[in-house]
C-alpha cells in the first residue's frame, strides 16, 4: 500500500469519526424545555395528532458516543488505518496459522493413523471414507461436482475412464502433485478447412471404429498417434484420452472436437499436497478410488 493511499484511508476514517462525534454534540448543544417543544408544534394530523420536535433521549446519544469510542479503540488495537499495524500486532495470517496449528494438534494424530495405511485398506473403513467425503466436499466438489460426476473440462470420478490411471498410486499423485494436460493447437498443420472438417468427422466416428479409408486417417497416423496411440486408446502416461470410447471431457459435438483440434486444450489439476498434507491426501485417495468402484 502506498503512503499516499494509506494517509487517504487514515484521514477519511478518522475525519468521519470526528464528524460523527461533532454532529452528536452539536445537535445536543441546547435541549429545549417541554414548554418550548410544545410551542414549536407545527403539524396536526387528524385533528388531534401533533408532531413535536422532540430531541433524542440522552441514553441514545450516549450509545452513539460509546460506539465512536469503541471504534477508536478498535482502530488503535487492530490494523485498519492504512498501513498502521495496530498496537495489538494482530494479523489474519497469524490467526489463521494459530487456528491451523490448534486443529492439527487435535486432528493430526487421527489423520496420521489413516495416512499410514494403504488406500486399499481405507476403502473398507467407513470412518475413513466419511472423512474422505468431507475432504472431497471441501477441496474437490467445486470442480468435479458434489456427486463427482464432473462437468465440461472436469473429469467424472465415478466411471472407469481415467486420463492418468485409476489406481491408488496414480490418483494420489494427481491429488498431491497435480496434473497439466496439454492438447496442442493444430490449425497450422492442416492445408485447408476441408482437411479440418475431415479430421473432425474422423475423430467423432472413432468410437464406432477407426476408418482407414477416411482421408483423415493418414493425417491421424502422422499427427495424433504419438499421444492417442495407433488404436486411439490414449496414453495414461501423458494424460492423452482415449478417442474410441464415449467419454468426452469437452463434449462430443463437431464444434467441440473442432475447437480441440484447432485451438488446443489446457487442462490443469492443481496440486493439493502442500494444502492438505500427505495423510489427508491418502484418505482422499481412498475415497476417490472407492467412487469408481
Judge if 276 and 173 occupy the same domain: yes
Judge if 158 and 223 occupy the same domain: no
Judge if 227 and 87 occupy the same domain: no
Residue 36: the pLDDT is 63
Q: Report angle CA 207, 253, 179 to the nearest 5 degrees.
A: 75
Angstrom distance (rounded) from CA 120 to CA 290: 9
pLDDT band of residue 117 (cuts 50, 70, 90) is very high
Domain that holds residue 243: 181-269
Judge if 159 and 202 occupy the same domain: no
Mean local confidence (pLDDT), 187-192 = 93
Mean local confidence (pLDDT), 57-73 = 91
pLDDT band of residue 58 (cuts 50, 70, 90) is confident
Judge whether 12 lies within some domain: yes
Judge if 174 and 186 occupy the same domain: no
Mean local confidence (pLDDT), 123-148 = 95
> Residues 52, 57, 60, 65: is their CA dihedral positive or negative?
positive
Judge if 142 and 199 occupy the same domain: no
Residue 43 has pLDDT above 70, yes or no: no
Number of domains making up the chain: 3
Strands, E assignment, the chain: 43-45, 49-51, 179-183, 265-269
Judge if 151 and 205 occupy the same domain: no
Inter-axis angle of helices 254-263 and 193-204, nearest 10: 120
Strands, E assignment, 52-120: none
CATH number at residue 228: 1.10.760.10
Judge whether 160 lies within some domain: yes
Judge whether 132 lies within some domain: yes
Judge if 206 and 172 occupy the same domain: no
Judge whether 77 lies within some domain: yes
Residue 54: the pLDDT is 67
Judge whether 111 lies within some domain: no
Judge whether 235 lies within some domain: yes
Say what the pTM is.
0.71
Residue 170 has pLDDT above 90, yes or no: yes
Judge if 186 and 262 occupy the same domain: yes
Q: Report angle CA 203, 209, 212 to the nearest 5 degrees.
A: 80
Angstrom distance (rounded) from CA 281 to CA 275: 9
Residues 193-233: tens digit of each pLDDT: 999 999 999 999 999 999 999 999 999 999 999 999 999 99
Residue 135 has pLDDT above 60, yes or no: yes
Judge whether 114 lies within some domain: no
Judge if 19 and 142 occupy the same domain: no
Amino acid at each position: 500500500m502506498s503512503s499516499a493511499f494509506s494517509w487517504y484511508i487514515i484521514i477519511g476514517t478518522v475525519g468521519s469519526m470526528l464528524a460523527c462525534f461533532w454532529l452528536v454534540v452539536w445537535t445536543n448543544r441546547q435541549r429545549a424545555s417541554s414548554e418550548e417543544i410544545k410551542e414549536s408544534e407545527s403539524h396536526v394530523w387528524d385533528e388531534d395528532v401533533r408532531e413535536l420536535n422532540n430531541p433524542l433521549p440522552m441514553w441514545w446519544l450516549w450509545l452513539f458516543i460509546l460506539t465512536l469510542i469503541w471504534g477508536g479503540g478498535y482502530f488503535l488495537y487492530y490494523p485498519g488505518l492504512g498501513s498502521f499495524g495496530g498496537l495489538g500486532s494482530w494479523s489474519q495470517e497469524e490467526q489463521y496459522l494459530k487456528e491451523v496449528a490448534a486443529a492439527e494438534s487435535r486432528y493430526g494424530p487421527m489423520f496420521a493413523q489413516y495416512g499410514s495405511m494403504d488406500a486399499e485398506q481405507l476403502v473398507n473403513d467407513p470412518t475413513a471414507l466419511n472423512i474422505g467425503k468431507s475432504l472431497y466436499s471441501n477441496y474437490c466438489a467445486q470442480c468435479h461436482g458434489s456427486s463427482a460426476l464432473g462437468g465440461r473440462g472436469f473429469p467424472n470420478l465415478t466411471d472407469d475412464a481415467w486420463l492418468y490411471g485409476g489406481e491408488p498410486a496414480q490418483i494420489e499423485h494427481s491429488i498431491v502433485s497435480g496434473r497439466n494436460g496439454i492438447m496442442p493447437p493444430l490449425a497450422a498443420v492442416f492445408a485447408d478447412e476441408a482437411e479440418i472438417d475431415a479430421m473432425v468427422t474422423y475423430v467423432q466416428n472413432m468410437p464406432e471404429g477407426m476408418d482407414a479409408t477416411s482421408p483423415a486417417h493418414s493425417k491421424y497416423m502422422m499427427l495424433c498417434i504419438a499421444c492417442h496411440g495407433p488404436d486411439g486408446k490414449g496414453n495414461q502416461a501423458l494424460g492423452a484420452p482415449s478417442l474410441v470410447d464415449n467419454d468426452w471431457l469437452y463434449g462430443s459435438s463437431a464444434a467441440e472436437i473442432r475447437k480441440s483440434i484447432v485451438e488446443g486444450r489446457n487442462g490443469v489439476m492443481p496440486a493439493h499436497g502442500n494444502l492438505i498434507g500427505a495423510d489427508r491426501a491418502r484418505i482422499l485417495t481412498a475415497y476417490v478410488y472407492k467412487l469408481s468402484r
